[in-house]
Structure 1
């Protein structure tokens, strides 16, 4: 496993507020859920990305 493989990003009202990297997907998913719980409101976007593949694993709110 690559250290820092999983990136969580928080954008509020179009501005990057937080970006963090974790080497463990379960830990990154917990951080993602915590950010959604704390900042989940209109104007917020939280994403979890696998840096090795470039794939977005989950995002809030989900895109239609």
Structure 2
């Protein structure tokens, strides 16, 4: 099974804590929101959603777009 196009990553202190890949942007955005809720209170937490095909960061937290 190949990884999906959309990657969500949670980092703390600049180090990856958890990552996941989804083929659907809608599902990846739901996971992004869920992981902000689950991991956003960790010190130094950052959550990003990247389109692996284009390399574009679609949104990030904190300071999301």
Residue 54 of structure 2 aligns to a residue whose secondary structure is: coil
* TM, length-normalised to structure 1: 0.86
* TM, length-normalised to structure 2: 0.85
Pick which of 37-46 and 50-59 moved more: 37-46
Deviations 1:4-60 (A, max 9, x none): 000000001222111110000000000000000111124100000000110000000
For these two proteins, the number of residue pairs brought into alignment is 61
Residue 27 of structure 1 aligns to a residue whose secondary structure is: helix
CA RMSD of aligned residues (A): 1.4
Alignment of structure 1 residues 1-64 onto 2, 5 Å: 4-41=4-41, 42-62=43-63
Runs of 4+ in 1 over 3 A off after TM superposition: none
Gaps of 5+ in 2: none
